[in-house]
Amino acid sequence: MLSVINVCTGSIDDLEVAREEILSQLKDKQFLKNTVGIIACHYDYVEEGVVEAISKALPFDIIGCCTLGSAINGSGSLEHLSLTILTSDDVSFATALSDTISENDLDGPVERAYAAVTDSLGQSPSLILAFGPLMTSVVGDQMLGKLNQFSGGTPIFGTLASDELPGTPKSYVLKNSEADRQKMALLAMSGNINPRFYVTAIAKRNIQQNNAVVTGADGYLLTSINDMPVMDYFATLGITISKLSAISMIPLLVDFGDGTEPIAYSMYDFSEAGVHCGGAIPKGAKITFAEVDVNGVMETAETTLRRALDDVEKNGANGIIAVPCMARSLVLSPNVEAEIVKSLEIIGDKIPFFLLYSGGEICPVYNQQHEIVNRFHNLTYTLVVF
């Protein structure tokens, strides 16, 4: 049995009150043999010492990250602190915070963090929750690739930290009282847990019919499409660098040709050399341009949640963790909390629910044999039912 306890506070202007609200909500809660906490909050709760105070007051590890917004059943906002606690007699938990990650030192920190949680569990995990830093020198897809390699393909779900400031200077990754912008936090689980994963990227009506094939790529730099330089290909569609530069993110849907559903990536840094993408795109992959709009954001959120609730009704579950991209809330401006509100309306009190916005989504997809393939995403609404 695995139980989920959700608590929260929105008292960002009185941080002592915020701390006491969290602790008072946990006062009479019963914890089983194994317990761990997952936290998501506005960075003010970190910088004013609330997260540290909460972690020191509780007898179990807490990991998570700062986020643009978070929610639990019935309550959520951009200035929220949300804490979900997993407690169980037959599911074991192990946490680790990596060493500093850098462009020149990625393998070692990720490998040692994975080894730490595996050693603590005494066996390979059944599920890993990963909270990565949002960096310019190392992208989320690279971190996921290394963790996938060292774990041998263990299902990995998670996010990159985020905040609402230009350059995201306060997108901290958290473990207990430590907050860092260049480390990855891991929560590994083993035992009686059955995770299922759901991803919805772009509303079908917003997917254009301009299928193309990647003919040149260098890591995250897309260099040619249909044997044409990227910008020349864009020009055939009436797209120029000046138009692209005015838009912060433009989604590509990428079909890897392995039977998995297409992945949404953002495009950045447009130049005559090509375009950098949110994930590595191999040669031969098929790509399709798409559009993200208000209706599409709300539609894909509801689609993902309805699919998950149908799963819960048919197969049972203990909780849901949802990780939508933070760019989705920006699309909704000025009603930036509309997706949170919609999510809470759909979930109600049907199952314990925890949502945090993401600087990059980590969520497995399924191939034609229904085998797990770990993937990095942009602009999506992802969730795990467990």
Q: What is the pLDDT of residues 14-67, one digit of tens each?
A: 989 999 999 999 999 999 999 999 999 999 999 999 999 999 999 999 999 999
Q: What pLDDT is recorded for position 204?
A: 84
Q: Is the pLDDT of residue 249 over 60?
A: no
- Note the maximum CA span of the chain: 65
Mean pLDDT of 296-319: 97
How many residues appear in the chain?
A: 386
When pLDDT is averaged across residues 368-375 and rounded to a whole number, the result is: 94
* CB distance 263 to 375 below 8 Å: yes
- Identify the helix (H) or strand (E) that includes residue 61: none
**321-339 pLDDT tens trace:** 999 999 999 899 999 999 9
Query: What would the DSSP string read from start to end of 24-50?
Result: HHTTT----SEEEEEEEE-HHHHHTTH
- Band (pLDDT 50/70/90 cuts) for residue 242 is low
Conformational region of residue 298, where left means phi above 0, alpha means psi within -120 to 50, and beta covers everything else: alpha
Measured distance CA(202)–CA(204) in Å, rounded:
6
pLDDT digits (tens, 9 = 90+) for 95-149: 999 999 999 999 999 999 999 999 999 999 999 999 999 999 999 999 999 999 9
For position 241, what pLDDT does the model report?
61
* pTM of the entire predicted model: 0.96
- Provide the mean pLDDT of the chain: 94
Residue 246 has a pLDDT of 43
Structure tokens at 106: 């990625």
Q: Phi first, then psi: give them for residue 231, nearest 5 degrees.
A: -70, -30
- Weakest mean pLDDT among 131-145, 205-219, 306-320: 205-219
Q: Is the pLDDT of residue 250 over 70?
A: no
Q: Return the number of other C-beta atoms located less than 10 Å from residue 34's C-beta.
A: 18
Q: What is the mean pLDDT of residues 153-173?
A: 96
**pLDDT for 245 beyond 60:** no
Binned at pLDDT 50, 70 and 90, residue 248 comes out as very low
**Tokens coding 286:** 């098929």
pLDDT over 60 at 243, yes or no: no
Neighbours of 310 (CB within 10 A): 10
Closest CA to 241 of 226, 231, 249: 231
Is residue 308 over pLDDT 80? yes
CB contact at 8 A, 47 and 113 = no
Task: Give the pairing of strands 127-132 and 156-160.
Answer: parallel
pLDDT at 36: 98
**DSSP 8-class letter at 206:** G
CA 190 and chain centroid, separation: 21
Q: At what angle do helices 294-315 and 338-347 cross, to 10 degrees?
A: 20
Nearest to 304 by CA among 384, 369, 358: 384
Taking each helix axis as running N to C, give the angle between helix 50-57 and helix 15-25, from 0 to 180 degrees, rounded to the nearest 10: 30
pLDDT of residue 322: 98
pLDDT category at 247 given cuts 50, 70, 90 is: very low
